[in-house]
Structure 1
Amino acid sequence: QLVLLATNGAWVRLGDVAEVVIESGPPQIRRDDVQRRVVIQSNVGDRDMGSLVDELRERIGAEVDLPPGYSVVFGGQFENQKRAQQRLMIVVPLSLGLIFLLLYFAFSSVGQALLIMLNVPLALIGGIAALYLSGQYLSVPGSIGFIALFGVAVLNGVVMVNAINQNVDAGLDVPQAVFDGALSRLRPVLMTAAIAALGLIPMLLSHGVGSEVQRPLATVVVGGLASSTLLTLFVLPALYATFSKWAQANRR
């Protein structure tokens, strides 16, 4: 019954010139690059986001016949995660390369730098095993945890190798220098790993808001410290002795 003024100056009712129907519709129309879009939001639980998106893409491609001009794009946290992963693909190798260069300048030996860098693979194994046993998935916070873990693992290796080098410089033969160095660095290495791990226990056991970020990081560091500490205390001294014998044999 709404009365409107026509262009010729006459008054007409809206119902005479249009059909008025009340229907449900979107509260707002979203556009991106002049293209209309519909946003569907959901939370992901009990699995990693990457595998879920891969499965969704596969099922949509097999079961959904999209009309011409329609497409499905995944964004939000998944898009942010992909960007972060691309940055980490550059940051992680760069960090390891810088660590190796610093070790080389500190010890003036490629062999000893590589020896200390052997802490990294075992720390990596421990971190991945901890994620698997805890039912978690590798995420961006977990990847950042690996970077922090590599620093602590290499630090323990530096402490051990430096102590052995000091014993060798003091005139001890290699087997005795390795034994005394490993024994003297036992407490510092254990204390460093224990303090770092204990400091992350609250994050490891958290279940509140933000725990999805804190727990993977803490799990990686704690698990990796456990395995890398064993390497530092037992495997690294043995490899040092083996490397020294091989180097002496080559010099002869």
Structure 2
Amino acid sequence: MSRFAIEGRTYRVIPQAADDFRLSGSNLSQYYVRSLSGQMIPLSSVISVSTIVQPNVRSQYQQLNSITIQGMMMPPNTLGDGLQFLEQELKNIAPKGYRAGYEGESRRYVQEGNSFLFLFGASLILIYLVLSAQFNSFRDPLVVLVSVPLSLFGALLPLALGWETLNIYTQVGLLTLVGLIAKHGILIVDFANRLEQEGKDRFEAVAEAATMRLRPILMTTFATVLGVLPLLLANGAGAASRFAMGLMIAAGMCVGTLFTLFVLPTFYPRLGRAQSSQ
């Protein structure tokens, strides 16, 4: 309507009615405007009022108009199940030309989730090759790696119970668990090889090795579980991701340790390389 200047700056004058006169669209009928003849006429005689629904924000994704769907997966459903469901529903209900994009955890899952099996297999191969060089044998590393599927069973148990879902953070925890649990098998196999070289029977050697290495194995497990305890008790921003990784490591180490002590010795006489006595 007008402008005014203060301290060298010009500001627009924007009139506004009091709160009581702008609570609803029907209040517009109480306003009057001046016609060309100078008479005051009600505003309702020159305009019509209708109520429509529109989004309060027009968001964009990659310079395209978009809407954002947010949700949280309930166990036992995984993030992959949720994304697959949404993609299928989008094909059924969305008009032609619409497509799906991903943000946040979903984006990381789509970009990196397909590479989990490759990374997991590559980690097993790398550990096997390193152990083969350490033991100078292609059979002893197989005994060590027996503890890996056993620990994975323990790590996946919370997922089956609905405590967590399979996502990028639990996958990172599973990859970390492979390297941690392999140390238990190394302790038993290495000590059993030494006892066998001293002339002891293979069954006797692995039984004594499991007994003698019990304390170091338990200490390693307790230290690892206590190390990830802050991840399990974390709160605030990022607590969900830290809890997922910590849960995989803690559950896998606890269950994997028990299986390693009782199951791995039964594989040593059958898979391990015979050691010549000295």
1:75 aligns with 2:102: yes
Note the aligned Cα RMSD (angstroms).
2.9
CA distance in 2 between partners of 1:220 and 1:65 (Å): 38
- Counterpart in 2 of 1:85? 113
Would the aligned equivalents of 1:131 and 1:216 in 2 still touch at CA under 8 Å?
A: no
Q: Check 1:127–1:173 CA distance in 2 against 1; reply closer, same or farther (3 A cut).
A: same
CA distance in 2 between partners of 1:147 and 1:181 (Å): 27
The one-letter code sitting in structure 1 at the alignment partner of 2:208 is D
2:189 to 161, 175, 192: 161
- Counterpart in 1 of 2:222? 194
CA distance in 2 between partners of 1:81 and 1:120 (Å): 24
| Structure 2 runs not aligned, ≥5 long | 2-46
Would the aligned equivalents of 1:126 and 1:224 in 2 still touch at CA under 8 Å?
A: yes
Q: Which has the higher helix share?
A: 1
SS at match of 2:139: helix
CA distance in 2 between partners of 1:25 and 1:208 (Å): 31
SS at match of 1:110: coil
The one-letter code sitting in structure 1 at the alignment partner of 2:89 is R
Shift of 1:27: 5.7
1:95 aligns with 2:123: yes
Would the aligned equivalents of 2:148 and 2:182 in 1 still touch at CA under 8 Å?
A: yes
Would the aligned equivalents of 1:160 and 1:232 in 2 still touch at CA under 8 Å?
A: no
1:233 aligns with 2:270: no
Shift of 1:21: 11
1:106 aligns with 2:106: no
Shift of 1:202: 2.4
1:60 aligns with 2:87: no
Q: Deviations over 1:52-89 (max 9, x none)?
A: 22222333333x251x43x1313102122111213433
Would the aligned equivalents of 2:150 and 2:255 in 1 still touch at CA under 8 Å?
A: yes
- Counterpart in 2 of 1:9? none
Give the TM-score normalised by the residue count of structure 1: 0.78
Would the aligned equivalents of 1:119 and 1:157 in 2 still touch at CA under 8 Å?
A: yes
CA distance in 1 between partners of 2:227 and 2:274 (Å): 40
Counting aligned pairs with the same residue, the percent is: 25
Q: Check 1:178–1:28 CA distance in 2 against 1; reply closer, same or farther (3 A cut).
A: closer
SS at match of 2:164: coil
Q: Larger Cα Rg: Structure 1 or Structure 2?
A: 2
Q: Check 1:31–1:208 CA distance in 2 against 1; reply closer, same or farther (3 A cut).
A: closer
- Counterpart in 2 of 1:184? 212
| Structure 1 runs not aligned, ≥5 long | 2-19
Return 146-155 or 41-50, whichever deviates more.
41-50
CA distance in 1 between partners of 2:74 and 2:188 (Å): 41
CA distance in 2 between partners of 1:233 and 1:177 (Å): 14
The one-letter code sitting in structure 2 at the alignment partner of 1:73 is A
Q: Check 1:247–1:52 CA distance in 2 against 1; reply closer, same or farther (3 A cut).
A: same
1:214 to 214, 224, 242: 242
Give the TM-score normalised by the residue count of structure 2: 0.71
User: How many residues were matched structurally?
Assistant: 225
1:170 to 198, 208, 222: 198
2:166 to 138, 148, 152: 138
Q: Deviations over 1:186-236 (max 9, x none)?
A: 100111011101221221233432121011111111111122212221111
Q: Check 1:50–1:29 CA distance in 2 against 1; reply closer, same or farther (3 A cut).
A: closer
Shift of 1:31: 6.8
Shift of 1:32: 3.8
